[in-house]
């Protein structure tokens, strides 16, 4: 009796940790949000006088996605957004970024966002 209770408790505890590793399911809101981010990065013109506003738009769209996945509980997507957000914050926090710096960050952000989009949109 005690042995079966211990086994049940062990399975329950290990089951909780396993759920953190299971990929989340398809979500139209997450799909739309990541494509909005990718497209906003695609539209970023680092030579434009409005480049800072475009970066703010990317930051806002990323923040929306981050909050959505946190409240939904998509831990796998949240892990993907973390490194992307760090790259974006480097550009966002630099108000007088040179065109070259902006273009390098844009290239990195675009590659990262494409990979995130592929991962998010390949779920069932």
How much is the average pLDDT of 67-76?
Answer: 93
Q: What is the pLDDT of residue 12?
A: 45
Q: What is the pLDDT of residue 9?
A: 41
pLDDT at 21 over 60: no
Contact criterion met (CB below 8 Å) for 94 and 100 = no
Read off the pTM: 0.79
Q: Which residue, among 62, 44, 39, 64, has the nearest Cα to 54 in the 3D structure?
A: 44
Write the pLDDT tens digit of every residue in 26-56: 878 899 999 999 999 999 999 999 999 999 9
Q: What is the pLDDT of residue 24?
A: 73
Contact criterion met (CB below 8 Å) for 68 and 29 = yes
């Amino acid at each position: 009796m005690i042995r079966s209770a211990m086994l049940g408790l062990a399975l329950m505890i290990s089951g909780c940790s396993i759920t953190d590793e299971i990929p989340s399911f398809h979500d139209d809101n997450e799909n739309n949000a990541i494509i909005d981010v990718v497209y906003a990065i695609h539209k970023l013109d680092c030579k434009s006088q409005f480049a800072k506003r475009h970066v703010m738009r990317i930051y806002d769209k990323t923040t929306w996605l981050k909050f959505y996945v946190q409240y939904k509980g998509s831990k796998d997507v949240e892990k993907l957004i973390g490194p992307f957000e760090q790259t974006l914050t480097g550009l966002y926090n630099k108000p007088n970024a040179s065109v070259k710096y902006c273009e390098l960050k844009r290239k990195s952000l675009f590659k990262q966002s494409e990979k995130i989009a592929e991962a998010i949109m390949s779920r069932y």
